[in-house]
A and B are shown apart, each in its own frame.
Chain A
Amino acid sequence: MNFRKTAILAAATSVIAIGAASADTIKMAFIDPLSGPFGPSGEAAYTSFQLAAEHINANGGVNGDMIEVTGYDNKVNPKESLVQLQKAIDDGARYILQGNGSSVAAALIEAVNKHNARNPGEEILFFNYAAVTPAFTNELCSFWHFRFDAHADMKMAGITDWIAERDDIKSVYLIGQDYVFGQAVAAAAESQLAEKRPDIEIVGNELHPLGKVKDFTPYIQKIISSGADAVITGNWGADMQLLMKAAAESGSDVPYLTFYGGSKGAVSSLGEAGIGLLYQVSEVTTNLEASDEQYALIEEYKERFPDYDYYYHRAWNAMDMFVAAAEAAGSADPIPVAKALEGLTIEHAYGSATMRAEDHQIQQPLYISVVSDDVKYGVDNIDLGWKLVDAGTISMESAEQPTTCEMERPE
Chain B
Amino acid sequence: METIVFGLLNGVSYGLLLFMLSSGLTLIFSMMGVLNFAHASFYMLGAYFAFTITGSTSFWIALFIAPVLVGLVGALVERYGLRKVHANGHVAELLFTFGLAYLIEEVVKIVYGKTAVDYRVPDLLNFAAFEIYGATFPAYRIFVIFIAIAMLVGLWFLLKRTRAGLIIQAALTHPHMVGHLGHNVPFIFMTVFGIGCALAGLAGLMAGNIFVTDPAMAVQMGPIVFVVVVVGGIGSLEGAFLASLLIGLLQNFAVGINASFAEIFAFTGLSPTSEVGDITISSLAPVLPFLLLVLMLIFRPQGLMGEQEL
| Residues of A near any B CB (own CB < 8 A) | 37, 39-40, 43, 178, 206-209, 211-215, 217-222, 224-225, 227, 238, 241-242, 245, 249-252, 264-265, 268-269, 271, 307, 380, 382
B136 and A218 within 8 A (CB): no
B286 x A209 contact (CB < 8 A): yes
**Cα separation A221 to B116 with both chains bound (whole Å):** 26
B135:A250 contact, CB within 8 angstroms = yes
| Residues of A close to B251: CB separation below 8 A | 218
Q: How far is the CA of A219 from the CA of B280 in the complex (A)?
A: 14
In this assembly, does B255 line the interface, its C-beta being within 8 Å of a C-beta of chain A?
Answer: yes
Chain A: CB-nearest residue to B279:
A178
B10 x A218 contact (CB < 8 A): yes
B283 lies within 8 A of A222 (CB):
no
In the assembled complex, B282 has its CB within 8 A of some CB on chain A? yes
Q: Are the C-beta atoms of A251 and B211 separated by less than 8 Å?
A: no
**A-B contacts, 7 listed (Cβ < 8 Å):** A39-B114, A217-B14, A220-B135, A224-B135, A225-B134, A242-B212, A269-B116
Q: Whole-angstrom distance from the CB of B227 to the nearest CB of chain A?
A: 13
Beyond A268-B118, A307-B113, A307-B115, whether A206 also contacts B282 by CB under 8 A is yes
For residue B98, CB closer than 8 A to chain A, the reply is no
Interface pair A251/B135, CB less than 8 Å apart: yes
Given contacts A37-B219, A251-B135, contact A271 B114 (CB under 8 A): no
CB contacts (< 8 Å) of B280 on chain A: these are 207
Are the CB atoms of A265 and B135 closer together than 8 Å? no
Distance A178 CA – B113 CA, assembled complex (angstroms): 30
B10 and A217 contacting across the interface, CB-CB below 8 Å? yes
B138 within 8 A of A: yes
Q: Is B181 an interface residue (CB 8 A)?
A: no
Considering only residues 252-285 of chain B, those with a C-beta below 8 Å from chain A are 252, 255-256, 280, 282-283, 285
| B216 proximal to A (CB < 8 A) | yes
CB contacts (< 8 Å) of B287 on chain A: these are 209, 212
Decide: A224 and B283 in contact? CB cutoff 8 A.
no
Which residues in A have their C-beta under 8 angstroms from that of B116? 241, 264-265, 268-269
| Given A218-B256, A224-B135, CB of A209 within 8 Å of CB of B114 | no
Interface size class of B (residues with CB under 8 A): 35 or more
Write the residues of chain B forming the contact surface with A, with a CB cutoff of 8 angstroms.
Answer: 2, 6-7, 10, 14, 113-116, 118, 120, 128, 131, 133-138, 141, 210-212, 214-216, 219-221, 224, 251-252, 255-256, 280, 282-283, 285-287
Total A-B contacts with CB atoms under 8 angstroms apart: 103
Complex contact A221–B212 (CB within 8 A):
no
Minimal beta-carbon separation of A186 from chain B (angstroms) = 12
**Which residues of chain A are within 8 angstroms of B113 by Cβ–Cβ distance?**
307
Contacts of B210 in A (CB 8 A): 215, 245, 249
Q: Name the distance in Å between B92's Cβ and chain A's nearest Cβ.
A: 25
Q: Which of A214, A307, A382 contacts B118 (CB 8 A)?
A: A382
Given the interface pairs A225-B133, A268-B118, A307-B115, the reply to whether A207 lies near B283 with Cβ below 8 Å is yes
State how many angstroms separate the Cβ of A376 from the closest Cβ of chain B: 21
B62 to chain A, nearest CB (A): 18
Task: A402 to B135: give the CA distance in the assembly, Å.
Answer: 41
Q: Is the CB of A269 within 8 A of B282?
A: no
> How many angstroms from the CA of A217 to the CA of B12 in the assembled complex?
12
Nearest chain A CB to B126's CB is how many angstroms away? 9
Q: Are A214 and B221 in contact (CB under 8 A)?
A: yes
Bound-state CA distance A222–B2 (Å) is 9
A225: min CB distance to chain B, Å: 5
Of A207, A227, A241, the contact of B212 (CB 8 Å cutoff): A241
- Are A265 and B211 neighbours in the complex by a CB distance under 8 Å? no
Q: How far is the CA of A215 from the CA of B10 in the complex (A)?
A: 9
Query: What is the chain B residue whose CB lies nearest that of A250?
Result: B135
Q: Once bound together, how far apart are the Cα atoms of A30 and B251, in whole Å?
A: 40
A238-B220, A307-B113, A307-B115 known; A37 and B215 CB under 8 Å? Answer: yes
Which single member of A207, A218, A251, A380 contacts B6 (CB below 8 Å)? A218
- Chain A's nearest CB lies how many Å from the CB of B286? 4
Nearest-Cβ distance from residue B2 to partner chain A, whole angstroms: 5
- What are the 3 closest A-B residue pairs judged by CB atoms, nearest first? A251-B136, A37-B216, A212-B286
B219 / chain A contacts, CB cutoff of 8 Å: 37
Known: A251-B136, A265-B214. Contact between A218 and B255, CB under 8 A? yes
Note all chain A residues with C-beta closer than 8 A to B286: 208-209, 212-213
- Note all chain B residues with C-beta closer than 8 A to A220: 135
The minimal Cβ–Cβ distance linking A124 to chain B, given in whole angstroms, is 30
One of B114, B131, B211, B252 near A242 (C-beta < 8 A): B211
A227's closest neighbor in chain B, by CB?
B134
| Contact (Cβ within 8 A) B255 A222 | yes
> Closest CB-CB distance, A348 to chain B, in whole Å?
27
B6:A221 contact, CB within 8 angstroms: yes
Asked if B136 and A250 make an inter-chain contact with CB atoms under 8 angstroms apart, the answer reads yes
B216 near A238: Cβ-Cβ < 8 Å: yes
- The smallest beta-carbon distance between B105 and chain A, in angstroms, is 8
